[in-house]
Amino acid sequence: MFESWRFNPFSEVMNSVLVEEEEHTIEYHADWNGYGIQLNEGPQLDNPSTVVIVEDVTGGATFTEVPRTQAPAAGQYRVDYAAATYYGTGRIQFNAADVGKKIRVTYYGTGWTVKSNYRQSQLTVPTNMEVEEDATIHGDLTLDGENTGKGNLSVAGDAAIGGALAATGGITGDVTGDVTGNADTADGLNETGSGAGVVHKKIIAIGDWNMSTTASVNIAHGLTRSKIRDVVVEIRNDADTETRDLTTHEASTPGYYVIGETNIVLTRGNLFTNSFYESTSYNRGWIIIEYID
């Protein structure tokens, strides 16, 4: 079966789309006995290559692509493209020395030619579901039992869960229905369902902010100001070795925020005017907002 395969068989044109910074971890895969990753879509073959892979750390190195017939050394990779003379699996092989590295992959995606049960528009699970690694569901998730998992669960549609929801890795993406049961997550939960008195949480990335040279930044909150009940601003240093609350009272003056009708204005204090908070092209931290309907 075909699913989101962007090839027009009449014009013979591939309408690929740019997929930016898809996150993966290089692992050993027993099913194909190789070290690497499985892309979410089949990558388009082009010259020069359309696949760019960067290690997901501050100042991370860019990996080097080698031909499919050449075994990759450390820092190299080879791609099974969605193209003639290739198998089109979207698998990328690395050297065993790179196992465990977190990476971001940018490429032109062609979709899938074989429909997977894990990519259905709706997924219904009558009993419990365990997620050992990351799971992405592009449609709705209905779960009558409990969900427990060690990986990240990303749901683009509605999530209806009859039992408890526990995700050690965290939940990414918006859950557009009500969350019933207990939500116990290590990371953030963006929940935009309805109900009188229900408190929701929204997490916004701050993005670039050289705090040494720029005193304030404006971040759109996308909410009704009068509905906002609490705000926490987490600031991380350039090395990503510690996180501080923008408004925590310490020996140095921390900073403050002001909630406007459309933006939250973040203003640094003396605590952050140093070389530990200068990097750009780097997410400075997060704004965590609690609000009501």
Tell me whether residue 42 is exposed, middle or buried, using C-beta atoms within 10 angstroms of its C-beta: 0 to 12, 13 to 18, 19 or more: buried
Mean pLDDT along residues 218-238: 93
The mean-pLDDT minimum among 39-43, 91-95, 122-126 falls in 122-126
The mean-pLDDT minimum among 19-23, 27-31, 135-139 falls in 135-139
CA distances from 34 to 65, 69, 91, 99 (A): 16, 14, 10, 11
pLDDT at 1: 47
Per the structure block, which two tokens stand in for 104?
């971001």
Mean pLDDT along residues 127-146: 61
pLDDT at 89: 87
Strand order across the 159-161 sheet: 122-125, 140-143, 159-161
Single-letter residue type at 117: N
CB 258 within 8 A of CB 251: no
| Cα atoms in the Cβ-side hemisphere of radius 13 Å centred on 80 | 17
How is the chain split into domains, by residue range? 7-109, 119-193, 202-292
Q: What are phi and psi of 198, to 5 degrees?
A: -80, 130
DSSP β-ladder status, 190-191 and 174-175: parallel
pTM score over 0.75: no
How far does CA 220 lie from the centroid of its chain? 20
Give the C-alpha separation, 92 to 110, whole Å. 15
Give the C-alpha separation, 76 to 19, whole Å. 20
CATH 2.40.30 fits 202-292, yes or no: no
pLDDT at 271: 86
Mean pLDDT along residues 134-138: 62
Per the structure block, which two tokens stand in for 42?
């089949």
